[in-house]
A = this chain, B = another copy of it.
Amino acid sequence: MSSYDVQQVRADFPVLQREVRDKPLVYLDSGATSQKPASVIDAERTYYEQHNAAVHRGAHQLSEEATDAFEAAREKVATFVGARPEDIVFTKNATESINLVAYGLSNASAPGALDGVPSEVAERLRIGAGDEIVVTEMEHHANLVPWQELCRRTGATLRWFPVTDGGELDLSDLDTLVNERTKVVAFSHVSNVVGTINPVAPLVAAARRVGAITVLDACQSVPHLPVSVTELGVDFMAFSGHKMLGPTGVGVLWGRAELLAALPPFITGGSMIEQVFMDHTTYAAPPQRFEAGSPNVAQAVGLGAAVDYLSKLGMDAVREHDKVLVQAALDGLAKRPWVRVLGPTDVEKRCGAVAFVVDGVHPHDVGQILDDSGIAVRTGHHCAWPLHRALKVPASTRASFAAYSTVEEVEAFLTALDRVPEVFGVEVA
């Protein structure tokens, strides 16, 4: 840890110099969206000032430069998660990435959509009545609602793993829930609320046994942990640029080559076609097939710079730093008996975020008190309403971290939190 100089990291993030309500900004809402280092902001700017043009199509110099910048970004992102560039699709956010898979699967049932696909692969992609999609109660809405809608479109049935009171996945019914009817098992790598790091291996193994496709929501793991698609063994993985120091407006879908190759397109239009006639169209190979229209080139380039930045820090070091922050938050909150922390207590089992409730005070009011001290946290259901229901709380307050967060910030947060019982007259003993 001694080599990780967080003050030096902070110097790279212009917004961290800001004051809020005359106090220095303490940004503990990185789980919602992270801040951006100057190198990311500059990468987008340089792209616009020097190279901006349509990619993949121009017969001119600028267009070649833009294409090179875009494809170089794809290579960087691929390397970052241990993937091949051809298997990386740029989307607008992780939500689109997951919808891409869900719509690709329902489109697979349209007439002719799987022509030419090997029958064993086609069989895995076809979903209808009687089939089952399995998710978990812990999911962000982005990895739940698209599957509900896929079920609505196809007649398949949604099933889910429950969550324990301790905020972990309850896998005791694994072999019942994942069965021969299961076509998809979709789950998050790390919970965006309770920070739980879920066990990927048993879920992948169970899905493999029945030939189900695994879809991993890696939004909260990729920014905090070393992540490799080959090690994880999943079939699809979605994550968002804006949560990993990258720009808004860019997400990523990685897919296993044989499945990507077979998956029908989602959004259709220019740049994803092979040949177009008035009455039919043939489609390009991945990743182009899934990148219809003019892509988010500047944002992809920015994400490439973010990945460079994280790689320079080293994801192992980022993970170690995160542990220190989470531990400091857990320790500080444990000293306040009027606070109830959600999720695992062991820092090895969690990362990125700490959510809690103050009984008798609504999280909105907790957040407001913190904001008054310049401390930015998030309150509410954090797009994980069913998880809150499972944990029997209406909502929660969440402090979440990134590579630039400091223990001092955690302490400032804890100190400000002490005003909550004061203002709302809560018993502190």
| A positions within 8 Å CB-CB of B | 14-15, 18, 20-21, 25, 27, 29, 32-33, 35-36, 40-41, 44-45, 48-54, 57-63, 92-96, 98-99, 103, 107, 110-113, 137, 140-146, 148-149, 152-153, 158, 160, 240, 242-243, 247-251, 265, 267-271, 273, 275-281, 292-299, 363-364, 367-368, 370-371, 374-380, 383, 385-386, 389
Contacts and interface: CB of A to CB of B under 8 A. Distances in A.
Nearest to A106: B153
A53 to B, nearest CB: 6
Contacts of A248: 52, 294-299
A25 B61 CA distance: 10
Given A14-B50, A99-B268, A144-B276, 15 more contacts: A18-B62, A20-B61, A27-B53, A32-B58, A33-B53, A36-B52, A92-B92, A93-B295, A95-B269, A140-B270, A141-B273, A149-B268, A249-B295, A273-B385, A296-B296
Contacts of A142: 269-270, 292-293
A18 B141 CA distance: 45
A20 to B, nearest CB: 5
A171 to B, nearest CB: 17
A230 B48 CA distance: 33
Contact of A20 (B62, B153, B240, B251): B62
Contacts of A268: 95, 99, 141, 145-146, 148-149
A29 B41 contact: no
Contact of A267 (B96, B279, B367): B96
Contact of A29 (B60, B98, B141, B364): B60
A62 B279 contact: no
A62 B153 CA distance: 39
A270 to B, nearest CB: 4
B292 A29 contact: no
Given A29-B63, A273-B145, A376-B61, A296 B249 contact: yes
Contacts of A51: 15
A59 B385 contact: no
Nearest to A296: B249
Given A49-B41, A145-B269, A278 B158 contact: yes
A102 to B, nearest CB: 8
B95 A377 contact: no
6 contacts: A29-B53, A40-B48, A60-B376, A145-B292, A249-B295, A249-B296
A312 to B, nearest CB: 19
B376 A53 contact: yes
B96 A293 contact: yes
Contacts of A94: 293
A18 B48 CA distance: 12
Contacts of A158: 278-279
A334 B292 CA distance: 36
Contact of A48 (B15, B59, B378, B386): B15
Nearest to A100: B267
A46 B93 CA distance: 22
Nearest to A20: B61
Contacts of A383: 269-271
Contact of A27 (B62, B293, B370): B62
A401 B297 CA distance: 21
Given A153-B107, A294-B33, A14 B49 contact: yes
A370 B247 CA distance: 35
